[in-house]
Structure 1
Amino acid sequence: MSADLTFALRLADAADGITRSRFRAADLTVERKPDRTPVTDADTAVEDAVRALLAEARPGDAVLGEERGGEVGAGRAWVLDPIDGTKNFLRGVPAWATLIALVEDGAPTVGVVSAPALGRRWWAARGEGAWLGQDGAQPRRLTVSGVRDLGDAYLSTTHLGTWTEHHSREHYLALVDACWENRAFGDFWQHCLVAEGAIDLAAEPIVNPWDVAPLQVLVEEAGGRFTDLGGIARFDGGTALSSNGHLHDAALDVLRRD
């Protein structure tokens, strides 16, 4: 395991210590950001703690986080989502996670997704594969599914309401109709399920870089594809499609259909 991946897992340990203690806390503080999305005291506490560890151990690296900002340029940068699925977190739903990625020269090279309330942690690094640790069991190496036809595919998104005019709801519903089954597992979890081979496609019309940076390397190291809805392999394009690779172009064709 590379030094950067080992360190990223250490960062996730620190984050889990905070999120576990604040999940379902009676005194959880919730505020609304300018974009009307919620933020809790746990979100800011996690990002501050991770930034402090980065400043100590990786002082030359840039940092981009959902709550404190920053940027990704040339060289090395850590991309943080302290709690992906904050709406779930504040409602007591256990499907949330801390997302940590190392981006080098614009491409994610390390990714960790830690979901302590689910008892799961996913991680990957370039050339080291994608892995799942669950409830103290021996880590399992991940491989995407072998499904090759949309008619046999399992599809997920986050929220149907986010499919707007630019990436229309009708196009997404056409993809739903083309697939065997669909759900809305949402956020990080659906892309992790693609990496696990449990589902075959996950599509999102609105994402931020911190929402998906670790998921790109996770899905790709599991043998799948991760692109924006234009088909470009990137985490910062504002949209996302992950797949087992076999179905990727067919799904893009449906989403682009006039």
Structure 2
Amino acid sequence: MNDLTLAQQLADIADQVSLARFRANDLVIDSKPDLTPVSDADKKIEQLIREHLLKLSPEDGVIGEEFENKVSTNNREWILDPIDGTKNYIRGVPIWATLIALRQNNEITCTVVSAPAINRRWYASKGEGAYVLENILGKEEKRKLKVSAVSKISDASFAFAEVIKKDHWEDYYDKFLKLTNDVWRSRGFGDFWGHMLVAEGAVDIAIEPKLALWDMAALYLIIKEAGGSFTNLKGVDGVGGPGAISSNTLLHNELLTRFK
């Protein structure tokens, strides 16, 4: 079994749990030490994925949002966010996804982002391009992803998650506000969603100043394989954070200058 097939299997496991528990009357919600919410679905998904990996790839490591890291013995590790967009999930908003990435020898080689409530699954393998599967009127369609060709900030569409000065943008807040005024359009497509819209070419820029490894790992390769750029706000390529800018590449240098 190749790695992408395994990643798709893991996404299938996650989708079954997340859809079954979405809008459930008995959904259990707790708070983590940082006061962010976690549902019983988050924990169950990560537990089942870890169990499946233990059966099929027992030497692989696991870095997940909800449980302690499992150390790799073969330089392979899976990076998991069982539900990205938990705040949406617990309120019944359908914009949430399971994020799955495989990192080998410190390089991300395959990823899946699965958003079953909106009938979309994005995926990529290194050097093989990025794709989205969409279920339209009961028919599954596969589409190769390519970022947009917009080359001017004034023509660009910008996706972001939060507009909270103290808790989110901090020192970047004034630069964020200026960008929202300079672009053609700005919309609050938060979490994974804005970045996947960049990969699809529907949005040109997505910026988040605060993201964890599991928030970024699965997004990175899809953006890159679609022809885009994914760096932190200082311009360092990869998922080292603490935040991320994804773009169609044509706008990236100007964005880095603005947030320098």
Tell me if both proteins adopt one fold, taking TM over 0.5 as the criterion.
yes
| 1:141 corresponding residue in structure 2 | 144
What is the 5 A alignment of 1:214-229?
A: 214-229=218-233
What is the 5 A alignment of 1:1-80?
A: 3-70=2-69, 75-80=75-80
- Partners of 1:169 and 1:99 in 2: CA distance: 28
Answer yes or no: is the 8 Å Cα contact 2:46–2:66 preserved in 1. Answer: yes
Alpha-carbon spacing, 1:205–1:71, altered in 2? closer, same or farther (3 Å): farther
Answer yes or no: is the 8 Å Cα contact 1:188–1:215 preserved in 2. Answer: yes
Partner of residue 248 from structure 1, selected from 219, 228, 252? 252
Instruction: Determine helix, strand or coil for the equivalent of 1:114.
Output: strand
- Partners of 1:69 and 1:252 in 2: CA distance: 34
- Amino acid paired to 1:144: V
- Partners of 2:54 and 2:134 in 1: CA distance: 30
Alpha-carbon shift at residue 71 of structure 1 (Å): 6.8
- Partners of 1:137 and 1:41 in 2: CA distance: 30
| 1:230 corresponding residue in structure 2 | 234
| 2:211 corresponding residue in structure 1 | 207
Answer yes or no: is the 8 Å Cα contact 2:210–2:241 preserved in 1. Answer: no
Answer yes or no: is the 8 Å Cα contact 1:174–1:254 preserved in 2. Answer: no
Partner of residue 162 from structure 2, selected from 159, 162, 177? 159
TM-score for the superposition, normalised by structure 1: 0.95
Alpha-carbon shift at residue 164 of structure 1 (Å): 3.5
Percent identity of paired positions between Structure 1 and Structure 2: 47
2:190 paired with 1:186:
yes
Alpha-carbon shift at residue 163 of structure 1 (Å): 3.6
| 2:119 corresponding residue in structure 1 | 119
Alpha-carbon shift at residue 47 of structure 1 (Å): 0.2
Instruction: Determine helix, strand or coil for the equivalent of 1:232.
Output: coil
| 1:103 corresponding residue in structure 2 | 103
- Partners of 2:71 and 2:189 in 1: CA distance: 28
Q: Residues 218-246 of structure 1: CA distance to partner in whole angstroms, max 9, x if unpaired?
A: 00000000001110111122110000000
- Partners of 1:6 and 1:53 in 2: CA distance: 13
Aligned residue pairs total: 254
- Partners of 2:84 and 2:173 in 1: CA distance: 23
Instruction: Determine helix, strand or coil for the equivalent of 2:210.
Output: coil
- Unmatched tracts of structure 2, length 5 or more: none
Alpha-carbon spacing, 1:84–1:198, altered in 2? closer, same or farther (3 Å): same
Alpha-carbon spacing, 1:81–1:215, altered in 2? closer, same or farther (3 Å): same
